[in-house]
């Protein structure tokens, strides 16, 4: 966070100080919302949520080192009191973002791949200068402000993952944080139930490029027709990435090694160079190309991009992370999120990696898919079986059963269990040395706990 006095923050958010012994005391740390993870010198933002009221933990946060609390009522601690905490957070974020005159702000959105792309981009742009990126998947109306307010002075690149669950969400975020570069990865079926279909999803995702000025840069996926069509909505020049010959930044000669990692020749307007990704799955080629397009437009050489991409790793947990057990079983943890596109990508990676091993796909339910949910789940089961996955385990209710039915129809051995506990018991007796196991589900399915069970077995 840019150093600010408590009096200065109060002025920006139009609040009043309460029990503040020194209004000129400076907030030097980031804003935070979890009193269990305090930031010394930071600003504790007290939200009154559905189940937890942050105001009840204000004293605890200050005792742990926070400089003050942003609150909607008086608390037993130094505070800046405002009528609406979220609105005040927005105002402070907007003010702060506009003071970052030396920082290039990059927004990344898409139906899938946002977090992985953001992680890769942070590592690549780090070769050009001090870079800050969204932690984990904090990509909403609270996470984006916290990321901005956690950005230290001297940051050259700020990479913001930006999510949306409806029309207007990205317009709101980009109004808070004006972007220099906008990246749209894809338009898929994730949250289709909330958006109302892929066309509505495209309308919402395109708000990211609409927010750019003519001096910005739009980076769009040429392989996705709904994304490439967003070029007409951008006042900024467009750089296309993809695997087709017409893309400005493209991959040629794509292949996978025995560990499911992609190798390809990166082509940019500045030349070409080989890339050997360390992340798992062919779907990361598109993510890497988006990163390459941004880095190229920001002045990195093609050779430098290829070298840093080849050294980049997954930094957010439960995203195609590999765990090798002592007994020879390998567990791929991809249990953070799931939609039809990411599920298909993970299954293809499993099949590519398992050509000489027995493959087991443990699949939890996908959510927020709308009226096509049952068909989407069945298609995933059919894909698993069609790819030659040996065993498919559906975990959860009726839709997990639909996955199993689709996989069985295509020849896979199948099991359907009710929950994580039953899955752990089944797999404890099923897995043998050499097996390759993918665990893939929506976060709400709770299968991250199953990964821990399997890794620690």
Show the domains of the chain with their CATH numbers.
4-83 (3.40.1390.10), 100-311 (3.40.1190.10), 321-455 (3.90.190.20)
Q: Tell me whether residue 35 is annotated as binding.
A: no
Instruction: Let me know: does 333 contact 318? Beta carbons within 8 Å.
Output: yes
127, with CB counted inside 10 A (0-12, 13-18, 19+), is middle
Is 271 annotated in a binding site? The answer is no
CB atoms within 10 A of CB 32: 19
CB atoms within 10 A of CB 432: 10
d(CA 393, CA 124): 37
The pLDDT of residue 368 is 78
Q: What is the pLDDT of residue 258?
A: 82
Decide if 66 contacts 39 (C-beta within 8 A). yes
* Confidence at residue 193, expressed as pLDDT on a 0 to 100 scale: 59
**CB-CB contact of 183 with 118 (8 Å):** no
Question: Does the annotation place 394 within a ligand binding site?
Answer: no
Q: Which of these, 82, 33, 83, lies nearest to 61 by C-alpha position?
A: 33
CA dist., res. 13 & res. 89, Å (int): 8
Q: What is the pLDDT along the chain (457 residues), one digit of tens a residue?
A: 889 999 999 999 999 999 999 999 999 999 999 999 999 999 999 999 989 999 999 999 999 999 999 999 999 999 999 999 999 999 999 999 999 999 999 999 999 999 999 999 999 999 999 999 999 889 999 999 999 999 999 999 999 999 998 999 999 999 999 999 999 999 986 656 566 688 999 999 999 999 999 999 999 999 999 999 999 999 999 999 999 999 999 999 999 988 889 999 999 999 999 999 999 999 999 999 999 999 999 999 999 999 999 999 989 888 899 999 999 999 999 998 888 989 999 999 999 999 999 999 999 999 878 888 999 999 999 999 999 999 999 999 999 999 999 999 999 999 999 999 999 999 999 999 999 999 999 888 889 999 999 999 8
d(CA 255, CA 355): 14
Tell whether residue 59 is among the known ligand binding residues.
no
Whether 110 has a binding-site annotation, put simply, is yes
**Residue carrying structure tokens 């949910």:** 373
Burial 131-167 (b: 16+ CB within 10 A, else e): bbbbebbbbbebbbbbbbbbbeeebebbbbbbbbeee
Q: Which residue has the tokens 């050009």?
A: 128
**114 appears as a binding residue in the annotation:** yes
> Do 228 and 220 touch, CB atoms closer than 8 A?
yes
Residue with structure tokens 């990964």?
A: 451
Compute φ and ψ for 179, nearest 5 degrees.
Answer: -100, 150
């Amino acid at each position: 966070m840019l150093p600010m006095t408590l009096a200065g923050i109060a002025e920006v958010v139009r609040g009043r100080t309460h029990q503040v012994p020194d209004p000129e005391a400076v907030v030097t740390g980031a804003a935070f919302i979890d009193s269990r993870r305090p930031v010394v010198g930071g600003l504790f933002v007290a939200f009154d949520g559905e189940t937890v009221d942050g105001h009840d933990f204000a004293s605890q946060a200050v005792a742990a080192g926070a400089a003050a609390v942003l609150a909607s009522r008086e608390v037993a601690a130094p505070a800046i009191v405002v009528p609406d905490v979220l609105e005040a957070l927005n105002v402070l974020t907007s003010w702060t973002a506009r003071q970052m005159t030396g920082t290039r702000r990059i927004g990344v959105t898409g139906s899938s791949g946002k977090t992985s792309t953001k992680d890769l981009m942070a590592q690549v742009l780090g070769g050009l200068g001090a870079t800050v990126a969204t932690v984990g998947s904090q990509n909403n109306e609270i996470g984006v402000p916290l990321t901005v307010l956690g950005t230290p002075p001297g940051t050259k690149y700020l990479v913001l993952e930006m999510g949306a669950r409806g029309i207007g969400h990205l317009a709101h975020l980009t109004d808070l944080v004006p972007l220099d570069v906008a990246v749209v990865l894809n338009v898929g079926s994730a949250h289709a139930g909330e958006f109302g279909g892929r066309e509505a999803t495209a309308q919402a995702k395109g708000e990211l490029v609409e927010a750019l000025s003519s001096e910005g840069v739009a980076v769009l996926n040429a392989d996705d027709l709904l994304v490439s069509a967003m070029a007409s909505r951008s006042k900024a020049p467009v750089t296309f990435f993809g695997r087709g010959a017409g893309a400005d930044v493209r991959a040629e000669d794509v292949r996978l090694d025995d560990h499911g990692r992609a190798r390809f020749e990166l082509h940019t307007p500045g030349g070409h160079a080989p890339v050997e990704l360390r992340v798992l799955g062919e779907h990361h080629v598109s993510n890497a190309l988006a990163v390459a397009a941004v880095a190229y437009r920001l002045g990195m050489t093609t050779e430098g991009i290829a070298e840093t991409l080849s050294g980049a790793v997954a930094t957010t947990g439960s995203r195609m992370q590999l765990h090798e057990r002592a007994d020879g079983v390998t567990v791929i943890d991809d249990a953070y999120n799931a939609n039809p596109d990411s599920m298909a990508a993970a299954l293809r990676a499993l099949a590519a990696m398992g050509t000489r091993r027995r493959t087991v796909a443990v699949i939890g339910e996908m959510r927020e898919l709308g009226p096509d949910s049952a068909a989407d789940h069945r298609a995933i089961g059919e894909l698993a079986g069609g790819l030659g996955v040996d065993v498919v385990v559906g975990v959860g209710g009726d839709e997990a059963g639909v996955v199993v039915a689709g996989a069985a129809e295509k020849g896979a051995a199948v099991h359907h269990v009710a929950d994580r506990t039953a899955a752990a018991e089944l797999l404890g007796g099923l897995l043998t040395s050499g097996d390759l196991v993918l665990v893939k589900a929506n976060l709400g399915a709770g299968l991250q706990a199953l990964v821990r069970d399997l890794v620690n077995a």
